[in-house]
Amino acid sequence: MATPPAPIRARAGEPTRSRGRRARLVGGVLALIAVLAAVAALGLAVGARAIPIEAVWSALFSPLGSDEDVIIRTLRLPRTLLGVVVGTALGVAGALMQGHTRNPLADPGLLGVSAGAAFAVCLAVFAFGIQSVAGSVWFALAGALVASVVVFLLGTLGEGGGSPVTLALAGAAVTAFLGAMTSALVLADQSTLDVFRFWAVGSLVGRGEGALLQILPFVAAGLVLALVNGPALNGLQLGEDVARGLGLRIGLARATGVAALTLLTGAAVAVTGPIAFVGLVVPHVARTITGPDHRWLLPYAGLIGAILLVGADVLGRVLARPGELPVGLVLAFVGAPFFIALVRRRRLVTL
pLDDT tens for residues 56-76? 888 888 888 888 888 898 889
Does position 16 have pLDDT exceeding 80, yes or no? no
Coil, strand or helix at 301:
helix
pLDDT tens for residues 310-348? 999 999 988 877 778 889 889 888 877 877 776 676 555
DSSP code string of 311-331? HHHHHHHHHTTTS---HHHHH
Coil, strand or helix at 201:
coil
Q: Would you tell me how many other CB atoms lie within 10 Å of the CB of residue 157?
A: 12
- 86 or 48, which is more confident? 86
Highest mean pLDDT of the ranges 11-25, 229-243, 274-288: 274-288
Report CA torsion sign: 83, 217, 248, 29.
positive
Give residue 161's pLDDT band: very low, low, confident or very high (50, 70, 90): low
The pLDDT of residue 326: 87
Closest CA to 35 of 289, 220, 333, 206: 289
| Backbone φ/ψ region at 289: left (φ over 0), alpha (ψ -120 to 50), beta | alpha
The pLDDT of residue 314: 92
- 255 or 343, which is more confident? 255
- Rounded Cα gap, residues 83 and 327, in angstroms: 10
Per-residue pLDDT, averaged over 129-153, amounts to 81
Among 59-73, 93-107, 150-164, 224-238, where is mean pLDDT lowest? 150-164
Does position 243 have pLDDT exceeding 80, yes or no? no
Per-residue pLDDT, averaged over 112-128, amounts to 87
H or E segment at 257?
A: helix 250-272
pLDDT above 70 coverage of the chain, percent:
90
Among 46-50, 126-130, 134-138, 177-181, where is mean pLDDT lowest? 134-138
The pLDDT of residue 180: 94
Coil, strand or helix at 333:
helix
- Rounded Cα gap, residues 168 and 69, in angstroms: 48
Per-residue pLDDT, averaged over 236-247, amounts to 75
- Rounded Cα gap, residues 93 and 280, in angstroms: 9
The pLDDT of residue 301: 96
The pLDDT of residue 9: 46
Give residue 349's pLDDT band: very low, low, confident or very high (50, 70, 90): very low
pLDDT tens for residues 210-222? 778 888 999 999 9
80-349: CATH, from 3.40.640.10, 3.40.50.720, 3.40.50.620, 1.10.3470.10: 1.10.3470.10
Rounded to two decimals, what is the model's pTM?
0.87
Name the average pLDDT for the chain. Answer: 83
- Rounded Cα gap, residues 40 and 314, in angstroms: 9
Closest CA to 225 of 268, 254, 266: 254
